[in-house]
Structure 1
Amino acid sequence: MNELVSKASVHAFYDEAIQQGRNTAENLQAATSERFNTLLGSVGVETPRTALDLGYGAGAYTIALARAGFHVTAVDQIPTDVLLRRIDGAGEWGRRIDPRECLAENYAIDEDFGVVVARDVLHYLARHDVEALLTNAVAHARGGNRHYLEVFTGITRRAADGQLRRIEGEADYSPDSFRQVIERIYDGWDFTLLWSEHAEQDGRTGRNCFEATRATVIAANNRAA
């Protein structure tokens, strides 16, 4: 039987890790990925200069977007003062960041964001919340939009004693079920769906505590506004 881990304990873990600046097994303090950098460099004048970063964590993607000229709404369940301290004194690009303390699933997408980023957060949500967020983001897109998603599928978690673990209410997508969701929601968009195997080690035992297939979605709304 799987050990059930509460969402509250997961929220508390990330709250503490981000506030203390710790780099966890999943590399919370990592720089932006080459795939994202390529997407950001390809954005044209047709893309609105507004962005949404769902689950911004340590803030690397939020900061990259702001430096690139986007006005960024940065959403996470952690206190906003962590990000505000990081960008204090940053100048003009720092003033383009609007941090919001909010669970990703509770954030109502009701405007046209030129770029939407959601990295390593959607798999924690219930499936209906994942699909509602993405559906709303697509519904409000007017043209030239870019979405960048990294979502873990086919997840296996283990405690230090080897017992299987599952997080309360998580989406639990298989690679195939997630692909079907993306094909349905991003109908009419140009998108690329990339797959890579991912594993994280328990620092105490050296054994894998997390294994998954990471899905990277790079989607472009090239329909006329």
Structure 2
Amino acid sequence: MRSPTSARFNRFVSTVGPDTPRTALDLGYGMGAYSIALARAGFQVVAVDQVPSTPFLQRLRDQAEPADRVEVVEGLIERHPIAGGLGVLVAKDVLHYLAPGDVEALLVQAAAASHPHGLHYLEVFTDISRTAANGGIQRIEGEADLSADSFRRLVERVYQGWHVSLAWDAHAEQDSRTGLNYFEALRATVVATRSTPTRKDAR
């Protein structure tokens, strides 16, 4: 939750062009690392998550410089209305929690609301495998349960006509006591640019 922003995200932020409005929507703020990074880069950020906002708000109070550029909204990301002319959308490690239909509906809404020079940055877990304490397979009811193929097809549908970069990385989380993996997944990183790019995309 307090981990720093990824190198790939940092490259993405550094390459946002001058024609993109400095407005950003961070879906799934957690402890706010990505929202704070966007604010420091000069964006006015709306950060949305259903987890309690108190830890993030406390962190913002400790970060005096960007605090006035971040609006924190405690609520369901799939129900948050997205205003038109959006510059940047960020959704990191959160979309897999949604119901299957809600993932696509949310991204379609965000794509429609994006500025002509808008960009989206997504990190999405696919092919998730969770191991319970008893060694059995653990599943979360209502979760999107995305496979790599189904997510790739979703991206193609949502971002038709956009320039899209899609990268894949294996991800695992270990139990500190046993050293065994309790969460394994294939993480997709999407950088989608609405206009024809004139810069080298983040890879």
Which TM bucket (shorter chain)? over 0.9
Match of 1:180 in 2: 153
Match of 1:199 in 2: 172
**Count of aligned residue pairs for this structure pair:** 197
Match of 1:212 in 2: 185
Cα distance between partner residues in 1 of 2:55 and 2:86: 24
Structure with greater strand share of residues = 2
Cα distance between partner residues in 1 of 2:127 and 2:116: 32
Matches within 5 A, 1:1-225: 28-88=1-61, 90-222=63-195
TM-score by length of 1: 0.84
On the 8 A contact 2:31/2:59 being kept in 1, the answer is: no
Cα distance between partner residues in 2 of 1:163 and 1:204: 17
Report the Cα offset of residue 35 of structure 1.
0.7
Structure 1, unaligned runs of 5 or more: 1-27
Cα distance between partner residues in 1 of 2:68 and 2:184: 38
Report the Cα offset of residue 182 of structure 1.
0.1
Give deviations 1:90-109, integer Å, cap 9, x for gaps. 44521010000001122122
Tell me the SS of whatever aligns to 2:139.
Answer: strand
Q: Classify 1:87/1:205 alpha carbon distance in 2 versus 1 (closer, same or farther; 3 Å).
A: same
- Cα root mean square deviation, aligned: 1.5
Report the Cα offset of residue 44 of structure 1.
1.2
Structure 2, unaligned runs of 5 or more: 198-203
TM-score by length of 2: 0.92
